Structure 1
């Protein structure tokens, strides 16, 4: 692996020992492991600027997927365009655990696909995430809303992030000042209603 050029595409069908590790394991533009049970979370979190990773057998579970998605959301660089993860054998797919504490939208007629937006937008282009639940794993893709057909989803998610930030600011203000004056509450309420109005007008297709 050390001798492979940086732009090489790596595909390994053989089994690897569970204690195997390599700093370049997920650094190639395209990587596929038939047996990736040796991979640890630290390997997933080290991914940067790659195109495609396929992991056909892993020891990751739903909680690991959630941790990866949160890290992707907060990361200061683009990580990946697409990753396919087959979860640990016997893992029951728990969609809610995978998206816990994330802001997502899902199609009204299909719960197998959700969209999310990165919280950290600096120095990144691939900021719209698409998570597809499969029978034994997930596929996660990241897109640039200025180039891909996901500007609509991005716009809805941006409003939802603004709404959550607004709610958190209100809670913080109420805690710090032990309550708000009626005039302040009225102003904040009107601003919140305006955000909700924009969401209602914009969102025609998704469950939020």
Structure 2
């Protein structure tokens, strides 16, 4: 077999080439020298093979999975240091088979060692008192055990792609506060946020969006992804928040949501003014018994009736606009 160095070859092509190789050819390509067969352990053998594959091929994406099982403490650190001599795009750390949790020291070491340019996945229990400034400074990140994540950690995330959190200590009010923070934030935070709340079931999903009409960033100069979409799985206590760039197709929907809120506000305003008119009529009745302020009360009542008519006109205009756009909304 002729040795050919392939640069930037597609992953599918690399996989096919390796599959077509015979066993002797694979050995020749991967272990060209007899002396290289003497390695310290099976893990080192795997790393040597990976190193030689990297010297032959340049894959577009390279993943690394570290199972925290037999390697603990200094053994884990030694193995990880040897592993990250290779360039990886994605790193997965699995500790599901460990009887106890990853220690704070081990968690700090792993997170500090993984390059920030990687996507990081950690499956395994992390102690509740764990904190690390680098925990969310990765391309994308997922922690299956996220009870240690505080609200301050959440709102401090910047320029991340996808953030996934397993079981957290957050409740509905935390998500509502997060949405308000995201709306007012001056910088990009994340492309998406996926998490499980403290409770498995969401009883009142409306509380998540309390006081919110639409999820749109106030600052559209420094941010590209200024629109947000919230998906709530009530029975699972699962929240997915996805952000989007402002495109032509989304502007009509956004305008419709603003009109819906305007419609609600006008409706409330009319109701309040009608209540006020009833009170004015009561006062007017009392003043008909010869009170010298009768004329002024009549003028005030007339002004109020005019305001009600004007609000009703605006209310009807917005109602017709919503019906014309055919948006599903029940007019009260």
Higher relative CO (Cα under 8 Å, sequence separation at least 6) belongs to: 1
For residues 251 and 182 of structure 2, the distance between their equivalents in structure 1, rounded to whole angstroms, comes to: 19
Secondary structure of the corresponding residue to residue 164 of structure 2: strand
Pairing partner for 1:10 from 89, 103, 120: 120
Compute the TM-score of the two structures, normalised by the length of structure 1.
0.73
CA RMSD of aligned residues (A): 3.4
Residues 58-97 of structure 1: matches in 2 within 5 Å?
Answer: 58-97=168-207
Pairing partner for 1:41 from 148, 151, 161: 151
Instruction: Write out the 4+ residue segments of structure 1 that deviate beyond 6 Å after TM superposition.
Output: 164-171
1:31 Cα shift?
A: 0.6
- CA gap 1:194/1:15 in 2 versus in 1, 3 angstroms: same
For residues 197 and 253 of structure 2, the distance between their equivalents in structure 1, rounded to whole angstroms, comes to: 27
Provide Cα deviations, 1:10-54, integer angstroms capped at 9, x if missing partner: 111122111111223223221100101100111111122221111
1:95 Cα shift?
A: 0.4
How many equivalent pairs are there?
A: 190
Residues 1-208 of structure 1: matches in 2 within 5 Å?
Answer: 1-103=111-213, 116-118=214-216, 120-123=218-221, 124-134=223-233, 135-146=236-247, 150-160=250-260, 181=303, 187=310, 189-205=312-328
| Larger Rg computed on CA atoms | 2
Secondary structure of the corresponding residue to residue 143 of structure 1: strand
For residues 5 and 152 of structure 1, the distance between their equivalents in structure 2, rounded to whole angstroms, comes to: 42
Provide Cα deviations, 1:41-89, integer angstroms capped at 9, x if missing partner: 1111112222111111111112211111222222223322211111114
CA contact (8 A) 1:93 1:136 kept: no
- CA gap 1:184/1:130 in 2 versus in 1, 3 angstroms: same
Compute the TM-score of the two structures, normalised by the length of structure 2.
0.48
Secondary structure of the corresponding residue to residue 176 of structure 2: helix
For residues 217 and 268 of structure 2, the distance between their equivalents in structure 1, rounded to whole angstroms, comes to: 14
- CA gap 1:184/1:136 in 2 versus in 1, 3 angstroms: closer
Report the more deviating stretch, 188-197 or 9-18: 188-197
Structure with the bigger percentage of helix: 2
1:184 Cα shift?
A: 6.1
For residues 211 and 123 of structure 2, the distance between their equivalents in structure 1, rounded to whole angstroms, comes to: 36
Gaps of 5+ in 2: 1-110, 273-299
Gaps of 5+ in 1: 104-115, 172-177
